[in-house]
Amino acid sequence: MWIKSLLKMTCLTLAFFATAAYAKSFEPATLQQAYEQLHEAVCVLTFTQEATDPRSGEQERQDGTAVALVVSPEGLLMSNGHLQLENIRSFNFRVRINRGDEQLEFPAVMLDKPEDVNLSFLRIQSDEPLNLPFVRFARGSALRLGEPVALVGIMGEAMGFHRSVRVDRITAILDTPRTTDCLTEGLRLGFVTSPVLNTRGEVVGVAGFELDPDEGGGMFARAGHPLVFQTEMFIHHVDRPPDESPVASPAEEAWLGVFTQPLKKEYAEYWGIAEPGGLIVSTVMPDSPAARAGLVPGDIIRSVDGAPVRALLDREVYAFTKMIRESKPQTITKLGILREGAEILLQATLGQRPRSARDAEEVTDETLGLVVREITRDVRILLNLGEEVEGVIVRRIISGSPAHVAGMRPGIIIMGLGDQPVIGLDDFETAVARLQESRPTEVSVFARVGAQTGFFRLMPRW
């Protein structure tokens, strides 16, 4: 009997302590308050998405739902970055906002996607000025390991998209490439882009996922695990929404034309350099400003315009890339180079950054079923194409088209169409125009697939 009651006591005590620990983390009152404060700013975004299969070029449409946060009273919305990917186009946005007992619905438009964080911004379209309840983000509030956090999201359609709260914890904090707070696994879709609150009730960020490198994420993207995007990572976009900010057009970006790696300790030791840190030039792109300046692989960049460069980590390479990119083309840059033990100074005139595949021009020919793009510098590097390879690259094949039937695939480089050589998009268009006049029953396409060239025979239905 005595033992039994002792056990009972212990259980009760444990239960008490457990409750105490929980209460210490998040009082129900705090959660209720968070809900009250935020549920009107957490809204349901519906949209239509068109995804292109990068291999077949096949396009598929589906309707989707996501969490959107109202981040300004005038109707700036923030949602997840997966709405806009290289092969995914979302449109037909509508946002549903709870206002007391009332439900408001507005159309919305997508703004330019920020490059530095995987979030999307949208703007509500309304004829009348809006004054919506919105999420106020707290700055400079670092989360600690193990610290409990609360999320305000939406439940599924079966639950009428009712707003709900969830308590999670910071399970890990990664230091590189930037401070990354991890949540527990299994974040439901209704909590992606939900506000993250600390125990003091401050909104310190939003929950989200980074992009996989396949989806266009950076080399060090922490894809696949739910994270907290802290306020500092996106607040500048809230303050200056993307379409209003003066976006540097790609044409204004500069490039040097090198690949570099950091001069780590052992590398410095190998080359007998007393002080590690710097950028080892590993590749010099042909016909680039770097090549013209006389840079060769093995050179070590130790200073740029007099400022010392002491990169030791891979991510510090990106800082250099960013600095070059943000310079103006035609800027004359003085590079302090360590070459075979001697210090030399080279002068490079930065060039205009070549257009990337993202901004590449595209031409569609419905009859043959080809969507082609110019071969941009990044694609050339990616596919390891020599400078002598000229043509246009197949971006997409229209399903069931003559090109599809002939077995053509995205990624193939078209070098000839009919009797016409194809060097660029103009030639492609000219060749297509000629074919439209002569309407041959079969069209021969000279193309390059990987390292090999060959022919495809297309039978267009004019």
Partner 1 sequence: MLASRIVSFLRQWRPAAWTFYLTISLVTFGGCATLGSDTQSSVLAAKNRVAPAMVHIRPVKEVFIAGQRREIPTIGSGFIISRDGYMVTNEHVAGDSSVVWCVLSDNTEIEARVVGADPDTDIAVLKVETDALLPHVTFGRSDTLESGQMVMALGSPHGLARSVSLGIISVPDRYLGDIGVMAAPYNNWIQTDAAINPGNSGGPLINLRGEVVGVNSRVLSGAENVGFAIPIDIAREAIEAIIEEGRVRRSWLGLQFQEMAARTDDPSARGVVIADVSPLSPAQEAGVRPGDLLLQINEKVVDARFEEDLPYVRKAVADLPIGETVALHLMRGGEPVEVTLQTEEKVATKGGQVEFSAWGFTAAEMTPELARRAQMTERTGVLVSGSMPGGIAAQAGLDQGDIILKMDDMPMHTLAEFSHAYQQRVESQQRLVMLFVRRGAVTRFVLLDTKTPDTDTLEKETLDYVD
Running DSSP on this structure, what letter comes out for residue 245? S
**Does residue 280 bind partner 1 (CB under 8 A)?**
yes
413 sits near partner 1 (criterion: CB under 8 A): no
Q: Say which residue the tokens 């080399």 belong to.
A: 219
Q: DSSP string spanning 156-199? A: -GGGTT-EEEEEEE--EEE-SSS-EEE--S---GGGTT-EEE-T
**Three-state SS for 285?**
coil
Phi–psi pair at 442, nearest 5 degrees: -135, 145
199 lies in the site for partner 1, by CB under 8 A? no
Stretch that binds partner 1, among 192-200, 218-226, 426-434, 438-446 (CB under 8 A): 438-446
Instruction: Classify burial at 294, counting beta carbons within 10 Å of its beta carbon; exposed 0-12, middle 13-18, buried 19 or more.
Output: middle
Q: Is 379 in the site for partner 1 (CB under 8 A)?
A: no
Min CB(271)–partner 1 separation in Å = 8
For residue 295, the minimal CB distance to partner 1 (Å) is 13
Among 140-148, 183-191, 229-237, 266-274, the segment contacting partner 1 (CB under 8 A) = 266-274
How many amino acids of this chain bind partner 1 (CB under 8 A)?
32
Which residues between 416 and 435 bind partner 1 (CB under 8 A)?
416, 419
Q: Contact with partner 1 (CB under 8 A): which of 131, 158, 270, 307? A: 270
263-271 long-range contacts (CB < 8 A, ≥24 apart) are 263/300, 263/311, 263/312, 264/312, 265/312, 271/300
Of 25, 72, 87, 261, which lies in the binding site for partner 1, with binding defined by CB under 8 A? 261
**Start-to-end Cα distance in the chain:** 95
Question: Does the protein bind partner 1 through residue 450 (CB under 8 A)?
Answer: yes
Nearer to partner 1, 306 or 386 (CB): 386
- Name every residue whose Cβ is closer than 8 Å to that of residue 349 and which is 6 or more positions away in sequence: 289, 292, 293, 330, 331, 332, 333
Among candidates 422, 406, 405, 425, which has minimal Cα distance to 414? 422
**Residue of 51, 65, 167, 259 interacting with partner 1 (CB under 8 A):** 259
- Cβ distance 169 to 146 under 8 Å? yes
Q: How far is the CB of 309 from partner 1 (least distance, A)?
A: 17
Cis ω on the peptide bond leading into residue 177 (within 30° of 0)?
yes
Rounded CA separation 9/254 (Å): 72
Pick from 7, 313, 382, 433: which binds partner 1 (CB under 8 A)?
Answer: 382
Q: Which residue lies nearer to partner 1 by CB, 65 or 283?
A: 283
315 binds partner 1 (CB under 8 A): no
SS (H, E, C) 65-120: EEEEEECCCCCEEEEEHHHCECCEEEEEEEEEEEECCEEEEEEEEECCCCCCCCEE
SS3 (DSSP) at 123: strand
- CB nearer partner 1, residue 247 or residue 459: 459
Q: Does 385 bind partner 1 (CB under 8 A)?
A: yes
Q: Does 17 bind partner 1 (CB under 8 A)?
A: no
Cα separation values, 368 from 390, 405, 411, 445, 447, Å: 21, 10, 16, 11, 15
Of 153 and 289, the one with the shorter C-beta distance to partner 1 is 289
Segment 129-188, which members bind partner 1 (CB under 8 A)?
none
Residue placing its CB nearer to partner 1 in the complex, 82 or 353: 353
Decide if residue 18 touches partner 1 (CB under 8 A). Answer: no
Q: Output phi, psi for 327, to 5 deg.
A: -75, 170
Task: Give the nearest distance from C-beta 340 to partner 1 in angstroms.
Answer: 10
Among 157, 269, 287, 305, binds partner 1 (CB under 8 A): 269
- Tell me the closest approach of the beta carbon of residue 355 to partner 1, in angstroms: 17
Among the residue ranges 31-39, 117-125, 196-204, 258-266, the one whose residues contact partner 1 (CB under 8 A): 258-266
Distance CA 30, CA 36 (A): 10
Question: How is residue 240 annotated by DSSP?
Answer: S
Q: Can residue 455 be called a binding residue for partner 1 (CB under 8 A)?
A: yes
- Residues near partner 1 (CB under 8 A): 259, 261, 264, 266-267, 269-270, 280, 282-283, 297-298, 380-382, 384-386, 416, 419, 442, 444, 446, 450-457, 459
